[in-house]
């Protein structure tokens, strides 16, 4: 059986009275497209919600180690456990700082800036291990964190000064066996890094290319927004006979039908998950990869990004899910909405969007020819769209997994 190289996932999802993704001044993010401003949800926001989703289809439910994303990783996941084991703080600081210097390439300038920021008057009271907080959020896999903790524990029995620690750590990573053990860790950077990638500057930690490519979601029509003026009543002042509100404020609410687009590079996904060469992906165990694909489709269709959860309840499922399986270069269907969808009062926006999607896809096939297996599940009939029309998401995911040689969980 020949396996497809790419899985493309297209969605149309409606939201009403929501503020899904805010900019630096608290307004909805926007995107100009086709000469019209659209409401937008960033790819970073979408990936964050899919990574951290809980429930039956969570990525964590696959049982694979996840990534740790924090500036506090060396403090909370390495140094503090060592302190609880009874090692001296000065020794821990020396050893873990040496690991940071080697693994992260911390420069002398960065170390000087860190030292400059210390409050000498509070030197006696401060927590020495707090100095291990990094200047930026690191993405380290749970296996990598456990490896660093184990190696640091071993070195603490011998190296107690900063100079000794630095030499010991440098020697450790010059040892080919140590590097081989680190590189041999399965899913070393974590499951979510295997999906969405990891950028590192270290020569020791492995950089990971994203196997899942996520576009910014945007409305298929012009932006629809409304200023939201609100007040809060001071109950005690009201009980005392005071008139008026305790405070007044304003925000923004938006509504819209959002087009979403995700591409899964299947050979790279299997390579990232199993540690095999990309060229050997069809021979590798694809059990975890098919589990990821199944859950990812479910998450994309049902997990809502959103701010102001308590006051807008911005929960919605995709109205239409279209997937494509094939070998040629992926391409977005965003251009189906280059001309914004326009509806008159009483018209069905989702139906009009599906019509434009079907029309564009037929025109695309007329120019480039059909090249993918297409499956669609929708709350509405989508006549004319060149795809196999299925009854629901379970049927759709089942057929996708069958095409990949897997089975639904």
The pLDDT > 70 percentage for the chain reads 94
Tell which residue, 385, 366, 363, 364, has the closest CA to residue 376: 385
Whole-angstrom distance, CA of residue 289 vs CA of residue 114: 42
Q: Using an 8 Å Cβ cutoff, are 371 and 328 in contact?
A: yes
The string of pLDDT tens digits covering residues 351-400 is 999 999 999 999 999 999 999 999 999 999 999 999 999 999 999 999 99
Window from 48-52, 158-162, 273-277, 358-362 with minimum mean pLDDT: 158-162
Q: Are 71 and 132 in contact (CB under 8 A)?
A: no
Q: What is the pLDDT of residue 110?
A: 53
Percent of the chain with pLDDT over 90: 64
Tell me the mean pLDDT in the region 322-344: 96
Q: Tens digits of per-residue pLDDT, 237-252? A: 777 877 777 777 777 8
The mean pLDDT of 110-120, rounded to a whole number, is: 56
Considering only 176-185, 225-234, 260-269, 326-335, which range has the smallest mean pLDDT? 225-234
Tell me the pLDDT tens digit for each residue of 165-189: 778 888 888 888 888 888 788 888 9
pTM: 0.90
Half-sphere exposure of 375 (CA within 13 A, CB side): 21
Kindly tell me the burial class for residue 52, based on how many C-beta atoms sit within 10 Å of its own C-beta (0-12, 13-18, 19 or more). Answer: middle
pLDDT of residue 6 exceeding 60, the answer is: yes
């Amino acid at each position: 059986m020949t396996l497809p190289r790419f899985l493309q996932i297209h969605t149309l999802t409606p939201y009403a009275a929501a503020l899904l993704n805010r900019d630096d001044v608290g307004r909805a993010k926007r995107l100009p497209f086709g000469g019209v401003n659209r409401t937008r949800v960033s790819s970073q926001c979408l990936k964050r919600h899919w990574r951290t989703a809980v429930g039956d289809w969570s990525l964590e439910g696959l049982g694979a180690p996840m990534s740790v994303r924090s500036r506090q990783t060396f403090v909370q996941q390495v140094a503090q456990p060592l302190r609880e084991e009874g090692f001296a703080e000065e020794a821990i600081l020396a050893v873990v700082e040496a690991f940071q210097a080697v693994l992260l390439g911390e420069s002398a300038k960065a170390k000087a800036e860190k030292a400059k920021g210390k409050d000498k008057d509070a030197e006696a009271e401060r927590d020495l291990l707090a100095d291990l907080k990094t200047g930026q959020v690191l993405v380290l896999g749970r296996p990598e964190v456990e490896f660093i903790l184990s190696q640091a524990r071993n070195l603490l029995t011998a190296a107690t000064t900063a100079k000794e620690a630095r030499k010991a750590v440098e020697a450790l990573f010059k040892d080919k066996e140590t590097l081989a053990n680190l590189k041999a860790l399965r899913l070393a950077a974590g499951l979510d890094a295997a999906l969405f990638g990891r950028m590192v500057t270290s020569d020791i930690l492995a950089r990971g290319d994203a196997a899942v490519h996520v576009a910014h979601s945007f409305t298929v029509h012009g932006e629809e927004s409304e200023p939201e003026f609100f007040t809060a009543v001071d109950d005690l002042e009201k009980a005392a006979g005071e008139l008026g509100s305790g405070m007044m404020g304003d925000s923004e609410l938006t509504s819209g039908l959002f087009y979403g687009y995700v591409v899964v590079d299947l050979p790279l996904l299997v390579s990232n998950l199993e540690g095999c060469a990309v060229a050997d992906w069809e021979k590798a165990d694809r059990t975890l990869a098919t589990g990821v694909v199944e859950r990812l489709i479910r998450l994309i269709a049902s997990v809502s990004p959103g701010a102001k959860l308590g006051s807008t309840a911005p929960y919605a499922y995709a109205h239409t899910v279209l997937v494509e399986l094939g070998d040629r270069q992926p391409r977005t269907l965003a251009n189906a909405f280059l001309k914004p969808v326009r509806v008159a009062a009483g018209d069905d926006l989702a139906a009009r969007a599906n019509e434009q999607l079907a029309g564009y896809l037929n025109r695309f096939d007329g120019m480039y020819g059909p090249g993918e297996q297409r499956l669609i599940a929708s709350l509405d009939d989508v006549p004319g769209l060149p795809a196999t029309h299925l009854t629901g998401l379970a049927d759709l995911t089942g057929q996708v997994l069958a095409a990949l040689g897997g089975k639904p969980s």
